[in-house]
Amino acid sequence: MRPINRRTFLHQGLGTAAAIVASPHAFGGAASPARFIPEPCAPSAWRKHGVVLEPTEDWEGGHIQNFTCPAEPLGGDRWRFWYSACGKNYLVAYAEGAAGGPFKKFPARCTPGDAADGPFTIGHLPDRWNPVQVVHILLRNGRHRIYFWVHGPGIVRYLAAESDDGKRYTVIDPLRPVLYHPSDRAAHGVASLDGLMIHKNPSPNRPAEEPLAVPRLISNDATNIYQLPDGTFEMYSVALLSVPRSDPAYMAHDNAPGLLRVIDRYTSADGLHFEDRKRVIQRDNLDSVDQQFYYLAATHTPKGQVGMLGHYRCQAQTMDLEWCFSPDGSTWHRPRRSAWLARGDEKQPDSYGIYGSSFLVQRDRQWHLFYTGVNSAHNNKHSHGPPRTVIMHATTRSIWA
């Protein structure tokens, strides 16, 4: 059976309906006292600088994205962008250069055996397991770790790999991932915490030594993960709730017509085993019926966490970047509920959607956002010209009002 992925999501029956209306207090509604919530800068404070990275190599397949991936400042005015090729096959990579100038690209060389020599290699990754949405963390112990989703035959799961030198990475355990997508072979016959089960029967292709998925670790893709100052980890990922055709939230033209996307926060001591999971953002009675939440990326500041929330309007198939705020990562406030960075007009590559990177970067007295711009609907049924996915750049002097 073909795995469900970002292109073809749901063709099977869904689980039971799940409630989606939550109290504003529990999920960041307007009922929280506004005087305790810092205000963001206005959307007009952002200055767009256009496309900084576009697909130029055959292995990129004509489409790239830095969705959930970090941008890291290097010496001088240079940057390292972690990103994904998302054309014919997924592949993770990084590019180095100055914003506005040429970039040198380094695709991952993936092998099922030990990591090979090279500027970016990943070992112990089984054949035909294609990585996407890479997150890089320089751990507090000095080692490097990357996380990424992999798509393969019967495989949709979130893996971790580590490196001593930041070049040669080894997957920690491909059979015991950090997260599972509900279409992964190990999740067949296992219901998520929200009762979603896409495949009712166990997969005959799951190796005997591979355990079944743990319900609390069944998630959608679109995952951001961070190491906190105390050395522990937090992770934001998307849970899936199902609704029947009779529910007003059922959107027949979406690529997942009976599923609703909400945000959960996980915590872990080591970043590999996540025991605690909590729902932090979902639609409430102040949102439109077609409102869903595609991702949450957090920028840690002295005031608290500034969130870039994937504001997905399912009816229009558009993706905006919504500002939100949390003092602790658990309670999130959404005072604006609208786009923090405006999409472009029909001639611009970000006319249909803006997908945020892993976090904002403060550098040279400005805040930098590198994001994926798309000019096509989320379900790929409409676009403003030939479909494009590119990496774009915007800056603001302050993220606060």
pLDDT digits (tens, 9 = 90+) for 111-156: 999 999 999 999 999 999 999 999 999 999 999 999 999 999 999 9
Residue 270 and residue 296 share a domain: yes
According to the model, what pLDDT value does residue 249 have?
97
Q: Is pLDDT of 97 > 70? A: yes
Residue 113 and residue 54 share a domain: no
Q: How many of the other CB atoms lie within 10 Å of CB of 33?
A: 8
Residue 206 and residue 260 share a domain: no
According to the model, what pLDDT value does residue 13 have?
32
Q: 392 lies in a domain?
A: yes
Q: Is pLDDT of 104 > 70? A: yes
Angle among Cα 168, 170, 176 to the nearest 5 degrees reads 160
Residue 242 and residue 213 share a domain: no
Return d(Cα 290, Cα 295) in angstroms, integer. Answer: 16
Residue 306 pairs in a beta bridge with: 299, 325
Question: Which of 289, 132, 292 shows the shortest CA–CA distance to 222?
Answer: 132
Q: How many of the other CB atoms lie within 10 Å of CB of 17?
A: 17
User: Which domain range does residue 176 map to?
Assistant: 108-221
Return d(Cα 293, Cα 310) in angstroms, integer. Answer: 5
Q: Is pLDDT of 24 > 80? A: no
Q: 88 lies in a domain?
A: no
Residue 389 and residue 240 share a domain: yes
Residue 121 and residue 269 share a domain: no
Averaged pLDDT for residues 4-32 = 35
Q: 362 lies in a domain?
A: yes
Averaged pLDDT for residues 85-103 = 94
Q: How many of the other CB atoms lie within 10 Å of CB of 397?
A: 12
Of 162, 196, 221, the position where a domain reaches its end is: 221
